[in-house]
Chains A and B, each alone.
Chain A
Amino acid sequence: MAAISVALTGNPNTGKSTIFNELTGARQKIGNWPGVTVDKKVGLIEYNGRKISVVDLPGTYSINARSQEEQVVSDYFSENKPDIVVDIVDASNIARNLFLTVQLLEHGIPLIINLNMMDEAERHGIKIDDSKLEKIFGMPVTNTVGRSNKSVKVLLDVFTNTRMSNYHPSQQLEEHINRIHQIQNSGLSKEKIDEEIITARYDFIDKVMAEAVTLSAASPSLSEKLDAIFTNGISALVIMLVAFYLLFQIAFEWVGQPLADMLGEFFEDTVAPAAMEAMAAAGVADWMQSLVGDGIIVGVGAVLSFVPLIFTLFFVLSFLDGTGYMARVAFVMDPIMRRVGLTGKGIMPLIMGYGCGVPAIMGARALDTNKDRMISILITPFLTCSAKVPIIALFAVMFFPDNAANIVFAMYIIGLATAILMAKVLGHTVFKGQESTFLLELPPYRMPDMKTVLLETWDKGKGYIIKAGTIIFAMTVLIWFLSNFNSDGMTEETDQSYLASIGGAAATLFAPQGFNTWEAGAAVVTGLAAKESVVSTIGVLYGADEDSVDTDDADGTADVLMKTGMATAFTPLAALAFMVFTQLYSPCVTALGTIKKETQSWKWMGFAFLYTCAVAWVASMLVYQIGSLLGFQ
């Protein structure tokens, strides 16, 4: 027997994903719907000897194709006829949820109306008469309470026992559909027709509500009490700052970064030497040893060292999202973000950008419009991610010993100001005319389903490793090649390598910035692999012992480097220009790979690279030239 095909549809915040995860568990596959960055989740299960394939359609309020998600659902139903469509309805919010139900039924899609969160509805004083609802629509109605195995079994029984061909729209529903057809043929303008249809749908829903649902006054819910604190007045701002602080600490101090460091060290101290020894013992050619040791292992290490960070961040974010708090953050922050041409939802990705651009770019996926997503992705590289801090710290300590803290602070401000400026510029040029709107449901606070949180985290982490990882890996090996080869073949001396030639060529570009040495040029190039490399490259190229250059110890490293040619290679003004350039120029290959993955476009990745370099070049030139005019050195 062929597998039964089941599609889950419904509004956002209805517990639909939780039901899907309960049904399919880890046996789900996550891909992309063609042409859009919307997750496509499918799972194959077996129940009572029958195979059932379940697809989880994105949560939408309607199928009017006004967003990527709506387009996906609308396309899905025009191209597929699944055996069973289950419309997951949040029973505590049935009036608005039925809008999608009615719209689907108008399109002749027979469906099972599954009332989820029945327990919550009862607490809110909402009573729903299932049999009346069945009669009104002529469609089967089922009940679930969100996450219990019993609910899943109910649904599986329904999937295997229901034949949708036995169900036909009731007369009441037929009358409604006739009315919709009348409106469609009324000869009014397209907008007017759409508006009349929306009104007619809610008219019908009001009748359904009157017949099948009783609302009794309930005392203020926990959500309302929490919102009085979480979204109101000073307490809202204080709680949000604490939440941001905790998120940052967990990801970059307490859990994510320490794990990442451990993994990095393990690679560097254990895996790499072991591999080198094994290869040396086996008599592998020198270039091969170098490729594996300095290229491949470093590349794999670069990909893996971000993994704990990404898992930790997305675990916390997914958890917060599940509670409903993220919607409140967007609500509180909207007026600030709006000044930049973005919306409240955009704050989270940008805040993450101060830790690492990679999860920040991935996080932009949650934004509503293409404009918001793209601008958010394109301005993230200007923020001061944790890998840029060693560069700033070292140069500030070396060249501005009396003002180091102020200079570091100024760099943060320059990054932020550039991000804001470019958001405005992009919003008025490249993405002109595309709307950025804010209309946001504030769902009730709920305890997140841990299975859903873990699966979402796993999905993000896996996507990063596979999709971004391959690009990052390739680019790391490329940079290894450049720094170990020249036209004569392999070279031990970095200053004889392609990297030095490229650095020299790059350096000529930096004459207006005052740092046109090949060492600085080479550092800028290796900084593409990872921003931390700027410090180690420049240190090594100026002849410092490799072990004395420690990205975590700016003071110590500065002491060592002050004794090298670096101290005189940069004037303080040129150093400042260099700091501004490295603060703003191209994101590292990891971030570039992530941009490629998220925008599904080499073109946008190329644009991100070129325009950030251009902005950095201009900004650092302005610093040097204006500084020179004002008489600084």
Chain B
Amino acid sequence: MTLKDTNPGMIVRIDEVGESALKQRLMTMGLIPGTRVEILHSAPLGDPIALRLRSYNLALRRDDAATIQVTQIK
């Protein structure tokens, strides 16, 4: 599944960051394979989503989240 398909409260591990214009920026912000990510919540209008990883919170759009493959670990 991708990060886009997750629900608030889930904890996932990143398997792969797919190709996109944003790929290197996503990786720079710490979204690399193996990283543990907690899904916090969506904005009121459903998009973007807020994540917690490496002890900080990051928001990104669902479309960009769809490029990231993850496995649910909790």
Residues in chain A within 8 A of chain B (CB atoms): 61-62, 64, 66, 92-96, 99, 124, 126, 191, 194-195, 198-199, 202, 215, 223-224, 227-228, 231-234, 236-237, 327, 331-332, 334-336, 338, 344, 435, 437-443
Closest chain-B Cβ to A234's Cβ sits at a distance in Å of: 7
| Interchain CB contact under 8 A, A199 and B32 | yes
Cβ contact of A442, chosen from B24, B26, B57, cutoff 8 A: B57
Cβ contact of A62, chosen from B22, B28, B35, B55, cutoff 8 A: B28
**Does B60 count as interface, using CB distance less than 8 angstroms?**
yes
Closest-by-CB residue of B relative to A235 is B44
Closest chain-B Cβ to A110's Cβ sits at a distance in Å of: 23
| Interchain CB contact under 8 A, B50 and A438 | no
14 residue pairs of the A-B complex, CB under 8 angstroms, read A66-B25, A93-B56, A96-B55, A96-B56, A99-B28, A191-B24, A215-B55, A332-B43, A334-B59, A335-B45, A437-B21, A438-B61, A439-B25, A441-B56
Which 5 residue pairs spanning A and B have beta carbons closest together?
A95-B54, A442-B57, A93-B56, A198-B27, A335-B45
**Does B40 count as interface, using CB distance less than 8 angstroms?**
yes
| Interchain CB contact under 8 A, B40 and A227 | yes
| Interchain CB contact under 8 A, A96 and B54 | yes
Residues of B within 8 A of A438 (CB): 48, 59-61, 64
Closest chain-A Cβ to B23's Cβ sits at a distance in Å of: 7
Closest chain-B Cβ to A66's Cβ sits at a distance in Å of: 7
Cβ contact of A440, chosen from B24, B30, B47, B59, cutoff 8 A: B59
| Interchain CB contact under 8 A, B45 and A64 | no
Measured in the bound complex, the distance between the Cα atoms of B41 and A444 in whole Å is: 16
B contacts with A, residue count (CB < 8 A)? 31
| Interchain CB contact under 8 A, A232 and B58 | no
Question: A435 with B29: in contact, given A232-B41, A331-B43, A334-B47 (CB under 8 Å)?
Answer: no
Measured in the bound complex, the distance between the Cα atoms of B24 and A191 in whole Å is: 8
Question: A441 with B28: in contact, given A231-B41, A334-B43, A335-B46 (CB under 8 Å)?
Answer: no
- Using an 8 Å CB-CB cutoff, how does the interface string of B1-28 with A read, 1 for contact, 0 for none? 0000000000000000000011111111
Residues of A within 8 A of B57 (CB): 223, 227, 441-443
Question: A332 with B45: in contact, given A126-B55, A195-B24, A437-B22 (CB under 8 Å)?
Answer: yes
| Interchain CB contact under 8 A, A64 and B44 | no
B43, B58, B61, B64 pick with most chain A CB within 10 angstroms: B43
| Interchain CB contact under 8 A, A95 and B44 | no
Measured in the bound complex, the distance between the Cα atoms of B55 and A438 in whole Å is: 20
| Interchain CB contact under 8 A, A198 and B44 | no
| Interchain CB contact under 8 A, B56 and A198 | no
| Interchain CB contact under 8 A, A95 and B55 | yes
Residues of B within 8 A of A334 (CB): 43, 47-48, 59, 61
| Interchain CB contact under 8 A, B21 and A199 | no
Measured in the bound complex, the distance between the Cα atoms of B29 and A64 in whole Å is: 12
Known contacts A99-B30, A335-B48, A439-B59; can you find 7 more A-B pairs with CB under 8 A? A96-B54, A233-B44, A332-B43, A335-B46, A344-B48, A439-B25, A441-B29
Closest-by-CB residue of B relative to A437 is B22
Measured in the bound complex, the distance between the Cα atoms of B43 and A431 in whole Å is: 28
| Interchain CB contact under 8 A, A95 and B59 | no
Residues of B within 8 A of A96 (CB): 29-30, 54-56
| Interchain CB contact under 8 A, A335 and B30 | no
| Interchain CB contact under 8 A, A442 and B58 | yes
Residues of B within 8 A of A227 (CB): 40-41, 50, 57
Residues of B within 8 A of A124 (CB): 55
Measured in the bound complex, the distance between the Cα atoms of B44 and A334 in whole Å is: 10
Cβ contact of B32, chosen from A202, A236, A441, cutoff 8 A: A202
Question: A95 with B30: in contact, given A195-B24, A335-B47 (CB under 8 Å)?
Answer: yes
Residues of B within 8 A of A237 (CB): 44
Measured in the bound complex, the distance between the Cα atoms of B32 and A199 in whole Å is: 7
| Interchain CB contact under 8 A, A231 and B45 | no
Measured in the bound complex, the distance between the Cα atoms of B48 and A62 in whole Å is: 23
Closest-by-CB residue of B relative to A442 is B57
Closest chain-B Cβ to A218's Cβ sits at a distance in Å of: 10
Residues of A within 8 A of B45 (CB): 332, 335-336
Closest-by-CB residue of B relative to A438 is B61
Cβ contact of A331, chosen from B23, B27, B55, B59, cutoff 8 A: B59
Closest-by-CB residue of A relative to B33 is A199
Measured in the bound complex, the distance between the Cα atoms of B59 and A224 in whole Å is: 14
A224, A236, A439 pick with most chain B CB within 10 angstroms: A439
Closest chain-B Cβ to A6's Cβ sits at a distance in Å of: 26
Closest chain-A Cβ to B44's Cβ sits at a distance in Å of: 5
Measured in the bound complex, the distance between the Cα atoms of B27 and A300 in whole Å is: 51
Closest chain-A Cβ to B55's Cβ sits at a distance in Å of: 6
Measured in the bound complex, the distance between the Cα atoms of B36 and A95 in whole Å is: 13
| Interchain CB contact under 8 A, B28 and A64 | yes
Closest-by-CB residue of B relative to A324 is B57
Closest chain-B Cβ to A23's Cβ sits at a distance in Å of: 26
Closest chain-A Cβ to B70's Cβ sits at a distance in Å of: 17
Closest chain-B Cβ to A226's Cβ sits at a distance in Å of: 12
Residues of B within 8 A of A99 (CB): 28, 30
Closest chain-B Cβ to A198's Cβ sits at a distance in Å of: 4
| Interchain CB contact under 8 A, B48 and A331 | yes
Measured in the bound complex, the distance between the Cα atoms of B50 and A227 in whole Å is: 10
Residues of B within 8 A of A336 (CB): 45
Cβ contact of B25, chosen from A126, A191, A232, A437, cutoff 8 A: A437
